Amino acid sequence: MRMIYNDAFALETHTQPADTLIDASSDVRLRSLTITVGNLCNLQCRMCNPFSSSRIAADPIHSGWFGHRSDRDESKDIESAYAEIIESCSSITHLQISGGEPLIIPKIHKILQSLIDSGRAQNVVLMMPTNCTGVGDPVLARLSKFKEVHLRMSLDGHGPANEYIRYPSKWSEIVDTIIRFKGLPHAKLSIGFTLSALNVFEVVRTAQFGDAMGIPFTFGVVHTPSRLSPNILPQATLEQAAVEIDDAVDSLTLNPSKRELRAISRLLRSFARQDREENEELWTKFVQFTNDLDRSRGQSIEASLPDLVTSLRVEKGPWQRNIFHILPKDRATPVSKAS
Ligand code: SF4
């Protein structure tokens, strides 16, 4: 998972390597612990990378944009280390977990179950991001045993836009999962929106979706890969998106969400004031990357993000077909490779 959940995390945090913390005879009293257990994930979101998602690592087109494949699976090495830390440190009250997708990682569930079995779960606040897919009833039952569960639900758009960016998720499954999360005792939910070049016109729809469900909207910004940063967008598109957001802020009822939207609007306007020329190379990469993934996944930016494509026409003209990677199917029917 790219975004790390820090809410309610004002406690002192140790950042030492795991093996230096394991000493049952020491007087270490950990209050909070952050663990990252491998990159197992069931999605391959466009702004993610092979180190965070096993599905991207297994996709030669997507991982090819990072120059190499990743077989990262650090979970084998650290599972026993983390289990021992948790076992040794009865003082832990806040446990923050990231992946991959934490809720589908079996080793995470072993750790959670050990906390439940030892009777300590009721004293532990659990915090994690989740993509809201692949969550079955046993997972929900386990989460319900903890003192609090803070779930930052990663949504990068509404409906088809989210399905496009967070491939191959299904919106209907996500909505169903959110409803079930809301039924958890002591659950504190938020939407974690990753602002990128793809979704500046999805901010309002996503915040309104959260507002209707009483779930606050929060956001982070893509800086890497830089080809997906919102500041590669043309000035007119950035300004149009900012105006759309400004116009919608007062339609929201949740004040934290209003603050986040105002912050996004200011950010987009500041990007719009930057020198646009320096982004031309990144713009080309953005188009090639998008087309590479569209072709390999059978998706279409025009169909999934029509507001963005329409806005881009003002400065960039019709969407271009440049590609970078040649797909195996192209070898039978040659396609010219654009620069
Ligand atoms: S859910 Fe998306 S962003 Fe999170 S780890 Fe998986 S691919 Fe990456």
Q: Which domain holds residue 221?
A: 197-324
Question: Count of domains in the chain?
Answer: 2
Does 189 sit in the ligand 1 pocket, CB within 6 Å?
A: no
User: Max CA-CA distance within the chain?
Assistant: 67
Same domain for 106 and 43? yes
Higher-confidence residue of 329 and 304: namely: 304
Asked, for residue 138, whether it belongs to a domain, the answer is yes
Asked, for residue 238, whether it belongs to a domain, the answer is yes
Could you give the CA distance from residue 162 to residue 168 in angstroms, rounded to a whole number? 9
Among 98, 127, 154, the domain boundary falls at 154
- pLDDT at 331 (0 to 100): 53
- pLDDT at 322 (0 to 100): 79
Asked, for residue 331, whether it belongs to a domain, the answer is no
pLDDT one-digit tens code per residue, 270-299: 999 987 766 889 999 999 999 999 999 999
Asked, for residue 288, whether it belongs to a domain, the answer is yes
- Check if the beta carbon of residue 104 is closer than 8 Å to that of residue 41: yes
* Nearest C-alpha neighbor of 101 from the set 163, 36, 41, 181: 41
Residue 1 has pLDDT above 50, yes or no: no
Q: What is the mean pLDDT of residues 10-37?
A: 59
Same domain for 319 and 206? yes
Query: Rounded to the nearest whole angstrom, what is the distance from the C-alpha of residue 336 to the centroid of ligand 1?
Result: 32
Same domain for 225 and 136? no
Among 95, 119, 154, the domain boundary falls at 154
Asked, for residue 239, whether it belongs to a domain, the answer is yes
pLDDT one-digit tens code per residue, 125-149: 999 999 999 999 999 999 999 999 9
* Smallest CA separation from ligand 1 atom 4, residue: 1
Q: List, as one string, the DSSP characters of 97-154.
A: EESSSGGG-HHHHHHHHHHHHTT-GGG-EEEEEE-S-S--HHHHHHHTTSSEEEEEEE
Amino acid at 286: F
Query: Rounded to the nearest whole angstrom, what is the distance from the C-alpha of residue 296 to the centroid of ligand 1?
Result: 18
Asked, for residue 297, whether it belongs to a domain, the answer is yes
Same domain for 228 and 126? no
Distances (CA, A) of 146 to 85, 184, 257, 296: 18, 10, 27, 41
- The pTM of the full predicted model, rounded to 2 decimals, is 0.87
How many helical (H) and strand (E) elements, i.e. helices and strands, does the chain have?
A: 15, 6
Could you give the CA distance from residue 196 to residue 53 in angstroms, rounded to a whole number? 18
Query: Rounded to the nearest whole angstrom, what is the distance from the C-alpha of residue 98 to the centroid of ligand 1?
Result: 10
Asked, for residue 253, whether it belongs to a domain, the answer is yes
Same domain for 148 and 71? yes
Query: Rounded to the nearest whole angstrom, what is the distance from the C-alpha of residue 101 to the centroid of ligand 1?
Result: 6
Does 59 sit in the ligand 1 pocket, CB within 6 Å?
A: no
Does 130 sit in the ligand 1 pocket, CB within 6 Å?
A: no
Asked, for residue 295, whether it belongs to a domain, the answer is yes
Among 154, 184, 219, the domain boundary falls at 154
Could you give the CA distance from residue 53 to residue 43 in angstroms, rounded to a whole number? 7
Same domain for 109 and 44? yes
Same domain for 133 and 52? yes
In which order are the strands placed within the sheet that holds 148-154? 32-36, 94-98, 125-130, 148-154, 187-195, 217-221
Does 192 sit in the ligand 1 pocket, CB within 6 Å?
A: no
Same domain for 215 and 134? no
